[in-house]
């Protein structure tokens, strides 16, 4: 049926009754193994591409979230311009701005983290 055989030797420890086994592998079997290995390689490549796209998508979502938070803070700061100049207005402005300072201090490390990730292209 097949005219060519490839041989693989399996060496066992000397304590075994047979020290060498030889198995014949047909060209058809090698062809199937080659095709299987190429399929496995393609699947690994696709997995890597999907992982990369997922990391990029997560990065873009984080950027959009931080951008939205910054816009909200900007609107809050713009709203403080219309407060009264009496003592109550000044105290309310002071409370709002101190709250804003705390919120911005939370955003700063996130922004730095995103900048480092984009600089090193680590999505």
pLDDT in tens, 37-86: 999 999 999 999 999 899 889 888 988 998 888 888 888 777 777 667 78
Tell me the backbone φ, ψ of residue 24, rounded to 5 degrees: -90, 135
At residue 21 the predicted structure's pLDDT band, cuts being 50, 70 and 90, is very low
Per-residue pLDDT averaged across 13-38, rounded?
Answer: 68
- Model-wide pTM > 0.85: no
Q: Which segments of the chain does DSSP mark as H helices, in order?
A: 27-79, 87-119
DSSP per-residue letters across 24-58: EE-HHHHHHHHHHHHHHHHHHHHHHHHHHHHHHHH
User: How, if at all, do strands 20-25 and 6-11 pair?
Assistant: antiparallel
The DSSP 8-state label assigned to residue 82 in this structure reads: G
pLDDT: which is higher, 38 or 10: 38
């Amino acid at each position: 049926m097949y005219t060519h055989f490839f041989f693989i030797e399996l060496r066992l420890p000397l304590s075994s009754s047979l020290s060498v086994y030889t198995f014949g592998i047909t060209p058809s079997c090698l062809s199937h193994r080659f095709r299987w290995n190429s399929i496995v390689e393609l699947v690994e490549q696709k997995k890597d591409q999907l992982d990369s796209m997922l990391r990029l998508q997560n990065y873009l979502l984080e950027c959009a979230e931080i951008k939205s938070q910054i816009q909200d803070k900007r609107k809050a700061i713009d709203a403080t311009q219309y407060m009264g100049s009496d003592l109550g207005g000044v105290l309310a402005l002071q409370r709002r701005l101190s709250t804003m300072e705390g919120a911005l201090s939370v955003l700063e490390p996130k922004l730095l983290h995103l900048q480092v990730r984009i600089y090193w292209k680590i999505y």
